[in-house]
Amino acid sequence: MVLIEWSKALSVDIKVIDDQHKKLLGYMNSLYEALNQKKEKDILMGLFDDLDDYTRTHFVLEEKYFEKFNYIDTKSHVLQHKEFIKKLEQMKKQIPKDLMDSEDLLTFLLEWLMNHIKISDHNYIDCFHEHGLD
């Protein structure tokens, strides 16, 4: 069962970033599937840790390009990243206490990621393309 599928609407037309976004969606789908199958908490925590780690890796890459290309909206975008990481840390503490909070986590992840990619990430497309990143 899949929570979210990749679509052209999510693409930022930059291969390395699209590939990372696809991988993030894969982690979300794995977490969703594990929840539906009522997997043990340690399995859920492992999947969550993978998602958390890869999200941080992805943010580092984007922020490297922001700095390199002198992206005009860097401050706001980085703040969104920091707030997201903070929220992940808060939610991670709740998973071992109450498995049902994991469903709230999925809802949050899905809504945040879709909005972030479709709006904030799409705002840097022109800047990145102007600097030769395809």
Residue 123 resides in a domain: yes
Does residue 118 sit within a domain?
A: yes
Asked if residue 5 belongs to a domain, the reply is no
Residue 107 has pLDDT above 60, yes or no: yes
**Band (104; pLDDT cuts 50, 70, 90):** confident
The domain that contains 78 carries what CATH number?
1.20.120.50
Q: How confident is the model over 29-53, as pLDDT tens digits?
A: 998 888 888 777 788 788 888 989 9
pLDDT at residue 78 in the model = 98
Q: Is 3 part of any domain? A: no
Distinct helix (H) and strand (E) counts, the chain = 6, 0
Give which of 24, 58, 30, 57 is closest to 45, Cα–Cα. 30
Per the domain annotation, does 7 fall within a domain? no
Mean local confidence (pLDDT), 119-133: 96
Query: Domain for residue 69, yes or no?
Result: yes
Give the DSSP letter of residue 116: I
Segments forming the whole domain that contains residue 124:
12-130
Reply yes or no on whether the pLDDT at 134 is more than 80.
yes
- pLDDT value of residue 94: 74
Q: Which residues contact 115 (CB under 8 A, 6 or more apart)?
A: none
pLDDT given at position 105: 74
In which band, very low, low, confident or very high, does the pLDDT at 19 lie, cut at 50, 70 and 90?
A: very high
Tens digit of each residue's pLDDT (9 = 90 or more) over 113-125: 889 999 999 999 9
Task: Decide if 72 is inside a domain.
Answer: yes
CA–CA dist 48, 95 (Å, integer): 9
Q: Is residue 96 assigned to a domain?
A: yes
Q: How many domains does the chain have?
A: 1
